[in-house]
Amino acid sequence: MTNRPQRFLALAQLANSVGDGAFYVTSALYFTRVVGLAPARVGLGLTLAWAVGSLVGVPLGRIADRRGARGTAVLLALGTAAAVGSFLLARGFVPFVLAACAYASAQSGLAAARQALLAGLVPAGERTGLLARLQSTLNAGLAVGAALGGLALNAGTAGAYRAVLMLDAVCFVVCALILLRLPAVAPATAVATPGGRREQRFAVLRDRPYALLALLNAVLLLRLPLLSLALPLWITERTGAPAWLASALFVLNTGVVTLFQVRAARAVTGPATAVRALRRSGVVMFVSCAVFALSAGRSAWPAAVILVAGAVLQVVAEMQQSAGSWQLSFDLAPADRMGEYQGFFGTGVTVARTLGPLVVTSLLMGWGTPGWLLLGALMPVAACAMGPAARRAAGRAGRKVTEPALAG
């Protein structure tokens, strides 16, 4: 990666992902053991927080478009640092929910602003490749952060958990400082529609083809709770495989994405290749779910072999789906509303994280093998529907295609 803006975008990604990795593996125990919340209340609070985050992503992305993506991203990175720090002061459910809402809102807005910044600094033909490199960087940072969080888990003290929160806050401050070194992107200006009227605010909410793409992408993202929630429960309750295999599958996924996401994205160069990648990902994901289902009732080693095979297929599908969705999300969004559109498209991740655990655990733990097959069948259906939705989005009138200009 020789381009200076791309290097700084990657360094910013690495900085905050290290902090996030440490936070992810320790936060549940901090909130239950140190703050003193019941697990059910932690889950409820985080669900409320991410629901709020999904609502504010679009307006914060709109601010990035109109006020400048770099400045907005820097402020939201600092806001995320402050929100993480506020967890240290939370005593009780209401302060926890307020801090969690601030955290989720800042994270959602930061993601949209960074996508808008990337769109302004990187030529269209290079964006998917860069996003693949950023995804690899993200996974590497999460792995390092998770290892640091493991040290806190081993210590098991309140001081160790608080140190992780301080580390995460510091990492977001470092992220903000790195983003500040990037060139500024000139704010977009509102343009007139073909009929002479100025575009309405939050046009993405009325852009039905793009909204459909975001919805279908949210369905494909139901894979997100598999490694973190569904498979650990499935392994311990429905198979004879050792419980530590859940951790091994997570490490496998992280390592493969780190090493091969860039290679997987090279074939995706435009909407047509993106749609083909998404169709392949849907089929492979269905096969992955069917393989996972075969592990039911198996003894330790046969179950382990089947689960590893399913995990390999799952990560192949994941890399194809990521590359295809990145390409479509940028190519089919107007250049002067990139933050707004990316904020909306990014709500798919929030929706999957909010509703996914309930949907996935109900299907898999409640229905067993039929649940795996039903979940798997959703994937090729949603993936194939992305093609017609993308064609409709690409064919709508009044699309602005010029690139944002650098300020100064």
CA 313, CA 256: separation in Å to the nearest integer?
11
Could you tell me which of 69, 29, 392, 331 has the C-alpha nearest to residue 208? 392
Q: Are 308 and 252 in contact, with CB atoms under 8 Å apart?
A: yes
Q: Which amino acid is at 43?
A: G
Tell me what pLDDT residue 336 has: 75
Beta-carbon count within 10 A of 332 CB: 23
Tell me what pLDDT residue 191 has: 47
End-to-end CA distance of the chain: 25
Spell out the residues 6+ positions from residue 40 whose beta carbon is closer than 8 angstroms to its own. Answer: none
Tell me what pLDDT residue 317 has: 96
Beta bridge partners, 185, equal 406
Q: Are 306 and 292 in contact, with CB atoms under 8 Å apart?
A: yes
CA 85, CA 88: separation in Å to the nearest integer?
6
HSE value, Cβ hemisphere, 13 Å, CA-based, for 145? 31
Structure tokens at 408: 């100064």
Spell out the residues 6+ positions from residue 385 whose beta carbon is closer than 8 angstroms to its own. Answer: 212, 216
Cα 326 to the chain's mean position, in Å?
A: 11
CA 274, CA 277: separation in Å to the nearest integer?
5
Tell me what pLDDT residue 405 has: 42
Mean pLDDT per 10-residue section of the chain, whose length is 408 residues: 80 92 82 85 82 84 87 95 95 93 92 88 84 87 84 87 95 96 77 47 76 91 82 87 82 86 88 93 97 94 96 95 90 81 81 78 87 96 93 64 39
Residue 315 to residues 45, 47, 224, 297, Cα–Cα distance (Å): 30, 26, 11, 24
Q: Which amino acid is at 112?
A: A
Q: Is 383 helix (H, G, I), strand (E, B) or coil?
A: helix
Tell me what pLDDT residue 343 has: 80
Q: Write phi, then psi, for 399 (nearest 5 degrees).
A: -80, 125
Cα 164 to the chain's mean position, in Å?
A: 21
What would the DSSP string read from start to end of 24-93?
Answer: HHHHHHIIIIIS---HHHHHHHHHHHHHHHHHHHHHHHHHHHHH-HHHHHHHHHHHHHHHHHHGGG--SH
Tell me what pLDDT residue 304 has: 95
CA 353, CA 255: separation in Å to the nearest integer?
22
What would the DSSP string read from start to end of 25-41?
Answer: HHHHHIIIIIS---HHH
Tell me what pLDDT residue 200 has: 56
